Amino acid sequence: MLKLTKTVEYALISMNYIENNSNGKPVSAKSISDQFSIPEELLAKVLQKLVKYKMLESVRGPYGGYKIKTSTKNTNLVYLIESLEGPIGIVDCSISNDCSLLDSCNIKSPIDSINQNIKSVFEKTTLKDIIKGI
């Protein structure tokens, strides 16, 4: 409950590792997977999504791999998480309005408020914070 997914953790670990081990050269999925014992195919899919959403760029072929896009170091975690996992919300109705209790629900308003506070924690944290360590 209230957990991040491994996908998100792998993304953050990778961004940090790439930033600190790149020197301008691309870092391969394999090298990250070795370093942290993350299943290679799984990690590759995560990195590919980060490329899709412009947080990394990729270089194919031998000596290829992934590089950080410096322009996205100010990206906040809501963007990263939602890119990987879809909308953040602590209950169904904060995402989709399809809860069957919606009409009778007596806690929606305070829950919405909590949800907003949770989101703002992730909004205030940027990739820069993760890459440096706080």
Q: Which residues of this protein are in contact with ligand SF4, per CB under 6 A?
A: 9, 91-93, 99, 101-102, 105, 107-108, 111
Q: Shortest Cβ distance from residue 123 to DNA (Å)?
A: 20
Instruction: Answer yes or no: are the C-beta atoms of 16 and 30 closer than 8 Å.
Output: no
CB atoms inside a 10 Å sphere around CB 65: 20
59 binds, among DNA, its own copies, ligand SF4, none (CB under 5 to 8 A by kind): DNA
102 binds, among DNA, its own copies, ligand SF4, none (CB under 5 to 8 A by kind): ligand SF4
Of 59 and 88, CB closest to ligand SF4: 88
How far apart (Å, rounded) are the C-alpha atoms in residues 128 and 16? 9
CB atoms inside a 10 Å sphere around CB 14: 24
How far apart (Å, rounded) are the C-alpha atoms in residues 90 and 112? 9
> Six-digit token pair at 78?
């809501």
**Where do we find the tokens 């069957």?**
100
Q: Is 19 helix (H, G, I), strand (E, B) or coil?
A: helix
35 binds, among DNA, ligand SF4, its own copies, none (CB under 5 to 8 A by kind): its own copies
Q: Shortest Cβ distance from residue 4 to DNA (Å)?
A: 8
Q: Is residue 4 within a helix (H) or strand (E), and if so which, with residue range?
A: none
Instruction: Give residues in contact with its own copies (CB under 8 A).
Output: 1-5, 8-9, 12-13, 16-17, 20, 35-37, 77, 81, 85, 88-91, 100-101, 104-107, 109-111, 113-114, 117-118, 121-122, 125, 129-130, 132-134
